[in-house]
Chain A
Amino acid sequence: MLRFGRVLNLSRNVVPFVEVNSRGLATAPQVARKGEEVEKATSEAKESQSFTMNLFRGVMETAQVFPFPQVLNEDQKDTLKMFVDPTAKFFEEVNDPAKNDTLEAVEPQSLEGLWELGAFGLQVSQDLGGLGLNNTQYARLVEIVGAHDLGVGITLGAHQSIGFKGILLFGTPEQKAKYLPRVTTGKEFAAFCLTEPSSGSDAGSIRSRAVLSADGKHYILNGSKIWISNGGLAEIMTVFAQTPVLDEKTGKEHDKVTAFIVERSFGGVTSGPPEKKMGIKASNTAEVYYEDVKIPVENVLGGVGQGFKVAMNILNNGRFGMAACLAGTMRAVTRKAVDHATTRLQFGRRIDSFGTIQEKLARMSTLQYVTESMAYMISGNMDSGSTDFHLEAAISKVFASEAAWTVTDEAIQILGGMGFMKECGLERVMRDLRIFRIFEGTNDILRLFVALTGIQFAGAHLRELQKAFKNPAANLGLIFGEATKRAIRSVGLSSPPSLSQHVHPNLVPAAALAAKSIESFGQAVEATLLKYGRGVVEEQFVLNRLANAAIDTYTMAVVLSRATMALQSGLPSAHIQELMTKVWCSEASGRVAENLGAIRSSQTLENFSNLSAIAKNVCENGGLIHINPLNF
């Protein structure tokens, strides 16, 4: 026992003796939801197949990353191939995105054509009026939509990706049989109604209320929702409202969110005029009001009081779709930029011969490659039955929305003045893209979600270790293992987890960079927990850097996997994929080191505290405090 104690004293990271209250951390990932009963953190550390979750422990879990998932059988591939051309043809010849944007609505013949095409029920089973596509097939078709018209993309997405997705995920057989045919062959629009004037990110604080009627047969719904996509068109809505629920343990009644299937025809449902927006103008966005709406109790979706879980699952389930859609957008936009760069002559030469333009085009290509790879990896994981994809889905949404913005911005830059002109079409795409960083979970919230969920997971495992120390005799194996690991690490003898057996030989050096990032993650998270304990919830400056490091690390693993697949299959594009992967890993691993180093640097922490002070002053002053150098 004495020798054991000395080994422990050698290692610097003596986490076991820190009180890590993971129950406190449990409230953390659910920052947005006050007043909502929080899912209690289990006292046992759960295992997870998620790469990102395990990353926060410094553990390399590659089950869902290597090899790159290939989930379609021959028949599914054939069907999908047959779908691609007609879908592309529709968007090239029938749908007119510029017209839709000017009209601030999807043209009627286009909308009708989309219903006929079957575009509104891609993932509903065939016997209920849909095409029965899985997630990977859906991703391929949504790529086409993204490449042509994001306004239409949102109209389709608000309908099926979130509007009636709850019925697909949580509906009873009766609810599915009743409503799914209506939203496919019945051509009735659907909408997802959660947001309210005082509740955006803080979804748990919604005020709409649904109270059980005296005879127990209906819920009476009152409230109002804002910014609902398809709000002015929808007949079938998934609506979230507070319902009084009896807590069996305390005998007290309190409010919990419940999800309902509400039909406009129930009466009392009205909607406002279409909102005037910066972009996705073709998509209808409206306020929806509920006044004493009688909802039959059979229309409760997912169980009374389960509304929050229903909402989060719906959003999680549809997120990969955004990455796939935006991968399509980036492909189309890059094509325009390349067309221009390879024909435009200035200073006597083609502008693509200049390094500045080359860097832009290469980065655009790489950002698209990373996004697309993530979209298909996640859809592949989901189709393989994974339930551990929520962090990756969140990362893909954050990454895709920011990458698409950057790529389109750079495309406009490459086209110069022409890029700014309406006729060129890029400015519309730019305006359409802005909302993608905001809706379906703001990128800011999603970053915190990733960081805090990861920390909670890591914390739970560390707590196990801490518990083991309370009863060392029973847990010697665990303790010895851990102590040895740390001792070795602290004397610098450890070898980082290795990815080299998963990747093609050409990518071994790049994989080593990724492995290093994974390893340094665990240490950084431990150090953060050591320093802040449960207070880490309030340290958003730190959490954001952890999130960015997680995004960089996950994306490295994703492209290493895809490029390996390409090299092993001998694809014509394998060489370019290899190059993009190498550059990505080189730059991303640098950013990871910078971010993880920063959160332990006193200089950075001082900057954070100064930034906070600046913000506080600006807010107290109602604006900037300094005037100008003239002082008037």
Chain B
Amino acid sequence: MNPFDEIAVEEAVRLKEKKIAQEIVAVSCGPAQSQETLRTALAMGVDRGIHVEVSGPEYDTLQPIHVSKILAKLAQDEKADIVIVGKQAIDDDSNQTAQMTAALLDWPQATFASKIEKQNGELQVTREIDGGLETIKVKLPAVVSADLRLNEPRYATLPNIMKAKKKPIKKVSPKDLGVDTAARIEVLSVEDPPTRQAGVILPDVDQLIVKLKEGGHVQ
């Protein structure tokens, strides 16, 4: 499971343990292996899973825009109050799904959450931003994305894994949800970064200035 999603699942389970959340539904879009990811979520304490089956070439071109549409539709169908996701996936680092989902639903968003508290029917979320921490209030329903320091996910225990086997996983397809998964982006090329050139060891600062001037790095 994507580490940030794991943190999101952990937070959801904690919300349920604090009796703030009533039911947790985990969603995974992908091929058959997604079921195993869902089982891990179920073992952590999620109540039921939805597997949106996407495989083969369709899966290769799946983008955040498609996933957001899927999540938005499911959030409406399931009458969810909170959609919580990891801030980004560690394979593409897109950091788009939470934002797009919120926009599609026209819900407020609280991204890069490092702390979530419920106060009077609203969520108070502390966000990690470049300048430090920002605390905002969002009305429910809302979309939240989990950042690294939100929590430390629990380890799945073997008894919970056994219990998870009995929890239901519903299978649907993007088409069932009215989502067109045709590719919106065409990948033109993928290249390795240039190999690092060897450095030079210089005897003193004067030499350094000479070299820098030669390279046109200083005037």
Contact = CB atoms under 8 A, between A and B. Distances in A.
B39 interface: yes
Interface string B113-150: 00000000000000000000000000000000000000
Contacts of B156: 86
A273 interface: no
Given A79-B165, A82-B39, A89 B155 contact: yes
A113 B43 CA distance: 16
Interface string A55-92: 00000000000000000000000110011001101100
Most-contacted residue by chain A among B36, B39, B162 (CB, 10 A): B162
B199 interface: no
Contacts of B161: 79, 82-83, 86
A85 to B, nearest CB: 9
A131 B155 contact: no
A522 interface: no
B158 A87 contact: yes
Interface string A80-115: 001100110110001000000000000000000100
B162 A117 contact: no
Nearest to B158: A118
Contacts of B157: 86, 116-118
A116 B43 CA distance: 13
Interface string B148-188: 00000001111101100100000000000000000000000
A21 interface: no
A78 B39 CA distance: 12
B155 A94 contact: yes
B17 to A, nearest CB: 15
A119 interface: yes
A117 B165 contact: no
A141 to B, nearest CB: 9
A126 interface: yes
A194 to B, nearest CB: 30
Interface in A168-213: none
Nearest to B159: A118
Most-contacted residue by chain B among A94, A116, A126 (CB, 10 A): A116
Contacts of A116: 155, 157
Contact of A119 (B158, B162, B165): B158
Contacts of B155: 86, 89-90, 94, 113, 116-117
A312 to B, nearest CB: 30
B105 to A, nearest CB: 34
Contacts of A118: 157-159
B158 to A, nearest CB: 4
Nearest to A87: B158
Contacts of B165: 78-79, 82
Contact of A131 (B39, B43, B158): B158
Contacts of B162: 79, 126, 131
A89 B161 CA distance: 14
Interface string B2-33: 00000000000000000000000000000000
A79 B163 CA distance: 11
Contact of A117 (B36, B39, B158): B158
A118 B165 CA distance: 16
A156 to B, nearest CB: 13
B98 to A, nearest CB: 27
A79 B39 CA distance: 11
Nearest to A81: B36
Contacts of B43: 86
A321 to B, nearest CB: 17
Contacts of A117: 155, 157-158
Nearest to B39: A82
A398 B165 CA distance: 39
A79 B162 CA distance: 7
Nearest to A86: B156
A335 to B, nearest CB: 24
Nearest to B156: A86
A127 B39 CA distance: 22
A407 to B, nearest CB: 29
A89 B156 CA distance: 10
A116 B158 CA distance: 8
B66 to A, nearest CB: 29
A83 B159 CA distance: 10
Contacts of B158: 83, 86-87, 117-119, 131
Contacts of B159: 118, 131
A319 B162 CA distance: 27
A90 B157 CA distance: 10
Most-contacted residue by chain A among B39, B156, B158, B162 (CB, 10 A): B158
Interface of A: 78-79, 82-83, 86-87, 89-90, 94, 113, 116-119, 126, 131
21 contacts: A78-B165, A79-B162, A79-B165, A82-B36, A82-B39, A82-B161, A83-B161, A86-B155, A86-B157, A86-B158, A86-B161, A87-B158, A94-B155, A113-B155, A117-B155, A117-B157, A118-B158, A118-B159, A126-B162, A131-B159, A131-B162
Question: Considering the complex of A and B, which 3 residue pairs feature the smallest CB-CB distances, nearest first?
Answer: A118-B158, A118-B159, A86-B156
Given A78-B165, A82-B36, A113-B155, 12 more contacts: A82-B161, A82-B165, A86-B43, A86-B156, A86-B158, A87-B158, A90-B155, A117-B155, A118-B157, A118-B159, A126-B162, A131-B162
